[in-house]
Each structure stands twice: as structure tokens, then as C-alpha cells.
Structure 1
Amino acid sequence: MIFPLLLLPVAVWGYCDPEFTLVGEKCLYFETHYKMTFEEAGEYCNEMRGASLVAIDSARQFKSIVDYIYSEGITSNSYWVDGNDIKTEGVWITSSGKEFPMGTPFWGGFLTYQEPNGEPSENCAHLFKSEKFYINDAKCNGTYAFICEQAELPPMKITNEAPEVNSCPMHYVAIGGKCLSFLTYEETTWDEARLRCRETDGDLATVNDIELLREINLYLKVQELTDHDFWLGASDAAVEGQWLWTNGSTVPMGTPFWGLNIGQEPDGAAEENYMALLSDGYFYFRDVEGSLALHPLCQLTE
């Protein structure tokens, strides 16, 4: 087909080609003017010197993309990304055949279900503006804006890996560069949970890194703990709407940390001032009443 715009090859300068912007660790082009089907968007990207729809391959990259959309004010569009289950229903892959990330913190998670939920009729992935730019499955013949990824990058590589933890004390496990302890043998209020953590030289966990949230989710699945609910060390009890960790640092807000309900959490106003990871909420951040009986998720005090 003939596209409205065809970009011809030019010399690479700096880290990204001129049409692309460094977002996270990828050079990306956000097409916001033309709306195309999933297939057309892929072809359009390919005509930009062999680019492709962006492949989201890490939680940190996903967060960088969502942050960029909000910072640039380009929030009136949903965006195609490189993921589909066209060949085999329920098996999501990229155009190159690589596994597409599933679950939290990528796909929209509500209190009663998590995307993808379109079954055979919705086979292509996009960042859905109505779901705060979490990934959603959509009909491939729908027309949306899209994000292209530069085909080849110069050898510069940005790394921001979590520090390694050589060993953790008894009852703690190394996850995402931290020593964490999941106290599944008791359920307590938020205040009592802090006391339990302090008894083992810790405090309720602080989760500022989106990769850590993903690692926690993966651990819960492997250990078959996805039917448990856990306290985290954050609250806005002191000042409504000002969410702080127990160490006084600011809690990250929005996608991809906080889950969805009618809108986006936190949504409990003055009645719900404490943070939890809930099984029914797919282990995104949720605000709940501090009097609930949940399991403490402790972090070794550094």
C-alpha cells in the first residue's frame, strides 16, 4: 500500500536516527497523526529503514514508554506495539517469534480480571489509553497510532540492572537485588505487620523499581502464593494523597505500578490509607484499610 509518509535513508547521528527519540534503552518513533491497522503499522515502521513496531521486552522499558507518553502529552491515542496471538490463541509472541511479556506489570489488571480478555476476536497488542496505557488485546483491523523501534542501534548500551545480592539471612530470599521475606504463616493489620518485620531486622517492603514488582509477581507464581495478600510499606495516612514509604521517600504513582478499578488506584480516599498487593488485584499497588488482616511482606533493613 502507499503510506502518507515515506522516510528515506539518512546517516545516523548520535544515538538515534533523526526521526527517533531515545526512550529508555530504545530509539523510538511515535506516530500520532496517522491511524492504521496492526499490519499496516508494522509495514509503515518497516519502511523507516527496516524499523519495526516496538517490542516491549522489560518492565523498565515499558515504564519508560508510558512515562514518555504522559510527559509529552500524547495521551489522546492508543498505540500498537509488537505483540500478537494470531497464530495460536493465548500464545503471545512478537513479530520475530520471541515470547511477549504477560501478566503484571504489563497488562491491565482490574479487581476481577486481567487483560488479555478478548479471546479469539482480539489478537493484537496495544497500549490502551482507556486503561491508562497498560497493554490490552484489540482487534487487529482496528486503527490506532503506533510506536516504531529503530532497526539497529549503535554499540552504546544503557544498563540499569539491580545490584546483586550474594546471600540473605534465614527466612529471607534474594529478589530483584533485595532480601525479602513473605510471612505467609500469619495475617495482621498494617501496624502489626511492621512490628513483625522489625522482629527479623526488617521493615515492610519498599518497591520503587518496576522490575522488582515484576520479580515479586514471578516469585509468587513459582512458589504458588498467588492466593495470598501482602502488605507493603507505604501509606498516605499522614497527608491524604501524599503516598510515602516508611523511609520517607515518595511512592511512584500511575502506570505501571498502580492497578485499575473503575479508574486507577489509589481510589479509596480517606478510608483507605495503606498499600497492599492483593491476589484479586493481580498484585498491583492497591490502597486498602489498615485494619485488614494481610500477610507482611518484609524487606531486610539495609
Structure 2
Amino acid sequence: MKCTIFIAVTCLKVETGGGCCGGQHKDEPHEHKDEDECSAGPRGLRLWATLPGTQEDARAACHDKGYSFLTIEDPFLFDDVIRTLRDEMPGLHDYWVDGSDDNGDMAWRFSDGSDMPLGSPFWDLEYHRPSGMNASCVALQGSRDYYWRNFPCDYLKPGLCVCGEVPQPHIPSPVECPENSTIIFDRCVLILPYLVDDFQEARDGCAAEGGDLLRLNNPGIMREFYFFVEADAGNWSEIIFVDGQLNGGGEFVFSDNSDVPMGSPYWQVGHPTGEADHLHYSTFTYLVNDVPCGVAPPPPPPPTTTLAPVVPGPHDHRPTGPFHVACEVPPV
């Protein structure tokens, strides 16, 4: 399937790279337009896409234009990039960005030698990225909501350049939290000391502590909550109840009626599915989803042939409780 994306000065026809070997076709340039070639994002970020090539080709093309090859160092910039691609450069293409594992030792670094961020909400943890010794360069994978995936560096994909300055990361205001809670990015988070079976019980438990369910409402809290949960990996229930519920109009909102941000870098790929009317935080993907919870479905019948049985994927079951609960409580 061929898709066309229009980027003010350059019109690119790109083969989408959703498969395991995606994005390996050269594309032909089209006529130029007398307009600003860079697409503007919500916080002033301006991006330009190169013609498809290797990651090194993309870097060189950026520099030839006087632009910088996109380096994504913080979750707010990641969110800016995704929103710019969705709103101004649609097409779900893969895009090279700065970052590689040059030595094949899983030590991922930017071209200046600094360490790349690993884990959520950058990488596609559902498929255990980064992975593979022969896939040493990083791209935003369009078919997976622009979460990072590592590809062989000689695959041919467009790259992303930054026109001008990069917006500065958001620095939260300091808060002082009650003794039984933890500062996570910009708020005080309390994990209930007991497990619950359903969403309403989770909300009631937070209310009893003078707070409400945790709102994962900005990229900073997504990143810091990942660190908090991952540091104690293995001791959590499969999901953690967090704030977010469908309203009468079929939209997810928080308890204060503000909108739940949709898509990456918040949601697990393929969600929401409409299976549940509230949010969970998955301790498998470290993203939110709306997988229904409750009684597990019956196991599949035994195979009737000598072929190896199909292994169920992460969406093929209903997580059973009880579950942990994340609350946010007022600062001191």
C-alpha cells in the first residue's frame, strides 16, 4: 500500500514500514512549493522529513539543509513529535531519529555519546524493544503509534530533522508530600496497602485517603510512574487501577472532567478497544489500556493435531484480581 504525505516544500511518496523489513524502497521527489517546508507542532517544534535512505543518509540530509537530526531526550519532546506527526504529517510512516547501539552491546546512545532513555513511554515494550543484535538504529514506527523500534541501519526510511530550536522540557514545581505517599513528577502518589477487585472499589479506597485515582495526564508523570513501578517489578498485580472513565458521550475523562489524553505516549497500541469503561495501567507494557478485568475465560481446547499450539498473545486473556491501586493525594 502506498501513502502520500505532503510536507510543505517536499511531497514524498513513501512505502510504509509496518512489516519486519519495512521501508526499503526509494521514493521519488516531487515539485517544490514556495512555502515553509517545516511542519509546526503544538509547542513550537518544527520538523522536516528527508527522503528515504539509511539512518546515516537521513542525518546527512538534515545537516545539508542546515537542520539538526532529531534527538528525542525527554518525554515531553516525544509527545510533541508524535502530535506533530499526527496532526501535520499524517501517514503512519517510520522515521529515523538519532540513536543507535553501535557496539551491539545493548548500550543505546545518541550520536553525541550520551545515553538514550530506555523503557516507557519511548519504546514498544509490548514487543520487548529494543531487541535483536542486527537492528542497531532507532526509528519511530508508524504502524505502532510511533513508539520506538530498532531496525537494521541500512533500511531505507525518511528521517526527521529539527528546524530551529527544540522546546525545553517541562520542569515541575516542587511539592511536599504526606509521609505515606511518594513524590512522582508533579504530585503525591499513594499506593493503597491492600488490593481491590473492581474500579469502583479502587476509587472508594482513594477517596477514603482524601484523594482520588492517579491521573496519568502528562508525559512527565508517565515516565516517572514507569520508573516507580519498574523499580519494584515482579511485586505488582498485572494491572494497577488509575483514573479515567467513559462519560455519557463515550469519551474517556478524568474525575475532574478533564480529557484523558489519547494515543501514544499514553496508551498501549490498539487501545482503547471499548472492552471496559475505565483505565488500567499495565505492568506488562507500562502504558494504559482498557482491558476488561474479572473472571478469566475458559482455557482453549487442547490441540487436535501434532502441530505446536498457538501461544496466546498479551490481549488474549482477562486479568483477574485483586489489583493494586494508585491514588494521588493533596500535598502537605
TM range, smaller chain: 0.7 to 0.9
Matches within 5 A, 1:283-302: 283-289=286-292, 291=294, 292-301=321-330
- Partner in structure 2 of residue 249 of structure 1: 258
- Could you tell me which of 178, 190, 194 is aligned with 2:199? 190
Are 2:52 and 1:31 aligned?
no
- Partner in structure 2 of residue 162 of structure 1: 172
Are 2:90 and 1:61 aligned?
no
Q: Deviations over 1:242-270 (max 9, x none)?
A: 1111121110001111012xxx2111x2x
- Partner in structure 2 of residue 79 of structure 1: 95
Cα 1:158–1:174 change in 2 (3 A) is same
Matches within 5 A, 1:1-302: 20=38, 23=41, 28-31=46-49, 34-49=51-66, 51-110=67-126, 113-117=127-131, 119-150=132-163, 153=165, 158=168, 160-165=170-175, 167-224=176-233, 227-228=236-237, 229-236=239-246, 238-239=247-248, 241-260=250-269, 264-267=270-273, 269=274, 271-280=275-284, 282-289=285-292, 291=294, 292-301=321-330
Give the Cα separation in 1 of the matches to 2:167 and 2:280.
Answer: 35
- Partner in structure 2 of residue 11 of structure 1: none
Give the Cα separation in 2 of the matches to 1:98 and 1:222.
Answer: 22
Matched to 1:285, the amino acid is: V
Give the Cα separation in 1 of the matches to 2:193 and 2:70.
Answer: 39
- Partner in structure 1 of residue 23 of structure 2: none
Give the Cα separation in 2 of the matches to 1:223 and 1:26.
Answer: 37
- Conserved in 2, the CA contact under 8 Å of 1:127 and 1:135? yes
Q: 1:171 aligns to what SS in structure 2? A: coil
Give the Cα separation in 1 of the matches to 2:122 and 2:75.
Answer: 7
Where does the alignment leave 5 or more consecutive residues of structure 1 unmatched?
A: 6-17
Matched to 1:177, the amino acid is: D
Give the Cα separation in 2 of the matches to 1:179 and 1:197.
Answer: 12
Give the Cα separation in 2 of the matches to 1:184 and 1:38.
Answer: 48
Cα 1:89–1:137 change in 2 (3 A) is same
The total of aligned residue pairs comes to 271
- Conserved in 2, the CA contact under 8 Å of 1:134 and 1:255? yes
Where does the alignment leave 5 or more consecutive residues of structure 2 unmatched?
A: 1-27, 30-35, 295-320
- Conserved in 2, the CA contact under 8 Å of 1:109 and 1:284? no
Give the Cα separation in 2 of the matches to 1:97 and 1:52.
Answer: 16
Matched to 1:40, the amino acid is: D
Matched to 1:250, the amino acid is: D
Matched to 1:219, the amino acid is: F
**Greater relative contact order (Cα 8 A, min sep 6): structure 1 or 2?**
1
Q: Deviations over 1:82-102 (max 9, x none)?
A: 011122331111111111111
Which segment drifts farther, 83-92 or 124-133?
83-92
Matched to 2:281, the amino acid is: L
Matched to 1:274, the amino acid is: H
- Conserved in 1, the CA contact under 8 Å of 2:76 and 2:169? no
Give the Cα separation in 2 of the matches to 1:278 and 1:159.
Answer: 26
Give the Cα separation in 2 of the matches to 1:25 and 1:149.
Answer: 13
Q: Deviations over 1:34-65 (max 9, x none)?
A: 1111111111122223x432110110100100
Give the Cα separation in 1 of the matches to 2:80 and 2:94.
Answer: 16
Cα 1:223–1:90 change in 2 (3 A) is same
Give the Cα separation in 1 of the matches to 2:266 and 2:95.
Answer: 20
Give the Cα separation in 1 of the matches to 2:233 and 2:123.
Answer: 20
Q: 1:36 aligns to what SS in structure 2? A: coil
Cα 1:82–1:274 change in 2 (3 A) is same
Cα 1:87–1:235 change in 2 (3 A) is same
Which segment drifts farther, 81-90 or 62-71?
81-90
| Identity of matched residues, % | 23
- Conserved in 2, the CA contact under 8 Å of 1:109 and 1:259? no
